[in-house]
Amino acid sequence: MAEFICRLGTPAGEIVTRTIEAVGAQEARVRLESEGFRVFAVTPPKTSGVASLTRRGGKGTHPRFKANDFLLFNQQLSALLRAGIPILQAISMLRKRAQSAGLSTVLADVEDKIRGGLALSAAFAAQGAVFPRIYTASILAGERSGALDEVLDRYVEYMRRSVNLRRKIRGALAYPVMLLMASLGMVAFLTVYVVPRMSSLFEGFGRGKLPWLTLIVTGVADWVSANFWWLVPALFVSLVAFVLWARTPSGRMIIDRVLLKLPLVGKLLQQMAVAQATRSLATLLAGGITLVESWEIAAESITNRELRRKSSAILPMIREGRSFTESLESAGWFPELAVDMIGVGERSGSLREMLDEVAVFYDSEAEVKLEQLTTTIEPAILIVMGGVVVTILLSIYLPIISAISNASSGR
């Protein structure tokens, strides 16, 4: 999200200037008008320093690459720089040995720009959205301080924790997703193939003698079978439409807002956002970047748009001279414990160290919450899908059992 400086007229007739974060100028204007302001002008701020330098470049036309490949590249780059190898030579060596074709293409462009006289940070920033701003900002800070290898080591540690967390999330959700897919496949098979074929057998029983459960299930199965060839394309089109809508700014905002209200999921997303934001901020502060510029960049690591929207007031408050702790409290979503810990670090002059502690603590909390989520989802899927399967099977066997009972009693 970009930041805009807005000149506004209040309902009381005053003219004020306010800073707001939004996807675009139009969204900022619409949001402010909905709050009752009269918008005179919406302009992006003319900033300088690390934040503005790392904002250079286009949207990026180079292919993306995996996080693991990027992590390996930074580990190797840090080792080469510690060994005293010049930057240009190190980039050239890593480009030739890159396993990812996308990364190799990007590094070739970076190498050309360094040969043309650009610094390493500027060459990375020129790639646009290919490299995260926290990365280019860390590189720039390392160049300014003369400790590029140390800054890279800190970024490698930061990225390693992020990659490990994503790997744990994928591993934890893999089994529930496979279980859900298998259950849906079984239900679809019973509904589309088994039940319609049993319906022809039940026709000889007479519809008036069939149990109500059998009538409902066979009615649904017959309708699905009769409309199968237009139902599947309709579901596919609906899925594509939902995905396209979910990629729009308003769609992503609504989805993120709904996710935060879900039991367990909302708390997990909040804890992950706290850990990611504080770790990003600590990494940038360790590189010697100012708090204002560090938070401007670190706020981009908050992937949930609703939480990022609530955090939009933090940066203007820091620029006004408010304490960082007070600014975090104004966001309204940071846990009280995290705010208290950060407040202690800010007052004692050890903010960066305390931010690291907060990130580690909420990483652990997120892992516990993730385990609770998976242990809740798995039995829930088994119970729900098992109930559906049992219902279908009962609808098949009840008429048969009833017919056998009637035949036995008629003898």
pLDDT tops 90 at residue 289:
no
Range of 41-50, 117-126, 195-204, 267-276 with top mean pLDDT = 267-276
d(C-alpha 58, C-alpha 204), whole Å: 71
Identify the DSSP state of 190.
I
Q: What is the pLDDT of residue 258?
A: 92
Identify the DSSP state of 37.
P
**pLDDT tens string 197-238:** 777 777 766 666 778 888 888 888 888 887 878 888 898 999
Q: What percent of the chain stands above pLDDT 90?
A: 8
Return the C-alpha torsion angle 61, 62, 66, 67, nearest 10.
-80
Task: Give Cα 344 distance to the centre of its chain.
Answer: 30
Range with lowest mean pLDDT among 163-167, 208-212, 355-359, 381-385 = 208-212
Under the banding of pLDDT at 50, 70 and 90, the label for residue 48 is very low
With H, G, I as helix, E, B as strand and everything else as coil, classify residue 229.
Answer: helix
Residue type, 289: I
Q: What is the pLDDT of residue 45?
A: 55
Report the pLDDT averaged over residues 257-275: 89
Helix (H) or strand (E) holding 19: strand 15-22
d(C-alpha 188, C-alpha 185), whole Å: 5
Report the pLDDT averaged over residues 25-42: 83
Q: What is the pLDDT of residue 204?
A: 66
Identify the DSSP state of 62.
S
Q: What is the pLDDT of residue 368?
A: 86
Q: What is the pLDDT of residue 254?
A: 92
Under the banding of pLDDT at 50, 70 and 90, the label for residue 341 is very high
Report the pLDDT averaged over residues 120-149: 81
Identify the residue with better confidence: 404 or 39: 39
Q: What percent of the chain stands above pLDDT 70?
A: 90
pLDDT tops 90 at residue 354:
yes
pLDDT tops 50 at residue 59:
no
Residue type, 241: A
Report the pLDDT averaged over residues 67-72: 84
Report the pLDDT averaged over residues 265-284: 88
Q: What is the pLDDT of residue 20?
A: 75
- 83 Cβ partners below 8 Å, 6+ apart? none
Range with lowest mean pLDDT among 73-87, 158-172, 321-335, 345-359 = 158-172
Report the pLDDT averaged over residues 330-359: 90
Q: What is the pLDDT of residue 401?
A: 78
Average pLDDT across the chain, whole number: 82
pLDDT tops 60 at residue 411:
no
pLDDT tops 80 at residue 135:
yes
Q: What is the pLDDT of residue 407?
A: 64
Range of 34-38, 45-49, 53-57, 128-132 with top mean pLDDT = 34-38
Domain limits of the chain? Answer: 2-46, 53-131, 165-411
Q: What is the pLDDT of residue 143?
A: 80
Give yes or no for a contact between 260 and 266, defined as CB atoms under 8 angstroms apart: yes
Q: Is the dihedral of CA 332, 335, 340, 343 positive or negative?
A: negative
Q: What is the pLDDT of residue 60?
A: 43
Q: Is the dihedral of CA 245, 332, 168, 161 positive or negative?
A: positive
d(C-alpha 274, C-alpha 345), whole Å: 16
d(C-alpha 20, C-alpha 316), whole Å: 8
Q: What is the pLDDT of residue 51?
A: 52
